[in-house]
Amino acid sequence: MGQKAKELSALAVSKLIQPGMHAVGGVDGLYLRISDTGARSWIARLTVDGKRREMGLGGYPEVTLAEAREKARAARSDLRMGIDPVEQRRQARGARQALRATQKTFADCAKAYIEAHSDAWRNAKHRAQWSATFETYVYPTMGAVLVGEVNQAHVLDVLRPIWKTKTQTATRLRGRIEQVLSWATAAGYRQGENCARWTGLLDQLLPAPGKISKVQHHRALPIDQTPAFILALRQHEGLSAKALEFAILTAARSGEVRGATWSEIDLATRVWTVPGERMKAGREHRVPLSEQAARLLATLPRIEGTDLVFPAPRGGQLSDMALTALMRRMKVDAVPHGFRSTFRDWCSERTNYPRELAEQALAHALENKVEAAYRRGDALEKRMAMMQAWADFVAPTEKPASPAPDHAGQQGGEPGDTSARPA
């Protein structure tokens, strides 16, 4: 039997600096290993089934001398009971790894959800918004929490700080958290109810968004100021001014106009067909072009190397701010999107065109699902007459186009004058 190692004190151990294995005594087979780089760790030498094994007990000084001796005694106690401490540790490590493989943090699941669904989203901007809101508001609070352990308190910790100050953002964020948690449940990473659910759960703890946040409508120009605005707009050079006028004449969204291509436009039939992937509702939308809109397009140059109708000076699409900045320079208290509201007001206040026709022109999704299911066509011809009447109102020509007798929008006159209204 070999000679027992001298039992070293904690101070004596701290002074060991020579690379190699240093027996520290107190427990048979306990050593402090010092590498050539100076790194120090505890080693227990054990004999298992006649074979010598080394078992790491942790680094020094993170694991103290007293703790190392206690771990070494426990390993030797296991050996006396027929337990291989090295194999036991290996199995425990494998079990932990297997458990981690079945567990995901909320951040893991959110990123997986975004990756799985982003192809179905309309554009990269939507994906970026999801990622940005999670990075800003969610991950710092509960990103590292195992998704199976996310509870109502975690969700409230995210939402409460912004619920009253950034209500719209908070509302969208709650819905996105709910979707991620539903995905995690379906994937087997979570059980139980969805703690981000609004109805019957969070609606009992947070004030309704409509009670604390007023809807912010896009600033719009009054109906009767729009013709003068177009006249002023025509004094400005550049494609931004042309794009804005085209947006007004078509009542289209800014993004739809800025992304318009010549291949989408048929000047012969005066129809602009916007593909579904560029529409908010995700469905193809045909836009009838008034004579004024068609004439505007006919004056535009075809830029070599791009199919865009309104390309930016340095290539690519015009930015959203290009049109907004133009209106600011014109000192108009409105935004480009507001002209869609102006058009809608004109339809309801100055004409008898049906509400449904105006909604179709604006490419709004029908809230009435039954009505949506039974709508087969897009009333293109009727909308053509309506858009021509709108163009004649906001941008009258020296020789106005003759409106269809049954669908002419009122061009002015007194409220009781119905001679120019559609039947």
Maximum Cα–Cα distance across the chain: 120
Say if 421 falls within a structural domain.
no
Distance separating alpha carbons of residues 69 and 31, to the nearest angstrom: 10
- Per-residue pLDDT reduced to its tens digit, 370-406: 444 434 567 899 999 999 999 999 998 754 444 444 4
Residues of the chain falling short of pLDDT 50? 1, 215-216, 369-375, 399-423
Provide the CATH number for the domain around residue 55. Answer: 3.30.160.390
Q: Are residues 285 and 376 in the same domain?
A: yes
Show which of 212, 247, 273 is a domain's final residue.
212
Say if 417 falls within a structural domain.
no
pLDDT for res 96:
59
Show which of 100, 122, 142 is a domain's final residue.
100
Structural domain harbouring 160: 106-212
Q: Are residues 196 and 229 in the same domain?
A: no
Say if 272 falls within a structural domain.
yes
Distance separating alpha carbons of residues 388 and 407, to the nearest angstrom: 10
pLDDT for res 414:
32
pLDDT for res 281:
75
What are the residues facing 23 on neighbouring strands?
31
Q: Are residues 73 and 186 in the same domain?
A: no
Q: Which amino acid is at 235?
A: Q
The answer for residues whose C-beta is within 8 angstroms of residue 243's C-beta and 6 or more apart is: 257, 258, 309, 310, 318, 322, 323
The residue ranges of DSSP E strands in 354-400, in sequence order, are: none
Say if 399 falls within a structural domain.
no
Please, which contacts does 29-32 make with residues 24 or more away whose CB atoms are closer than 8 Å? 29/72, 29/76, 30/57, 30/68, 30/69, 30/72, 32/60, 32/68
Q: Are residues 190 and 122 in the same domain?
A: yes
The answer for residues whose C-beta is within 8 angstroms of residue 2's C-beta and 6 or more apart is: none
Say if 350 falls within a structural domain.
yes
Say if 4 falls within a structural domain.
no
Provide the CATH number for the domain around residue 269. Answer: 1.10.443
pLDDT for res 87:
77
Domains: count for the chain:
3
- Per-residue pLDDT reduced to its tens digit, 99-116: 555 678 999 999 999 988
Show which of 161, 193, 212 is a domain's final residue.
212
Q: Are residues 271 and 256 in the same domain?
A: yes
Say if 132 falls within a structural domain.
yes
Nearest partner of 30 among 61, 67, 84, 68, judged by Cα: 68
- Residue 258 structure tokens: 């800025």
- C-beta neighbour count of 81 within 10 angstroms: 6
Provide the CATH number for the domain around residue 181. Answer: 1.10.150.130
Q: Are residues 235 and 355 in the same domain?
A: yes
Q: What is the H or E stretch that residue 371 is in?
A: helix 369-374
Q: Are residues 390 and 270 in the same domain?
A: yes
Say if 411 falls within a structural domain.
no
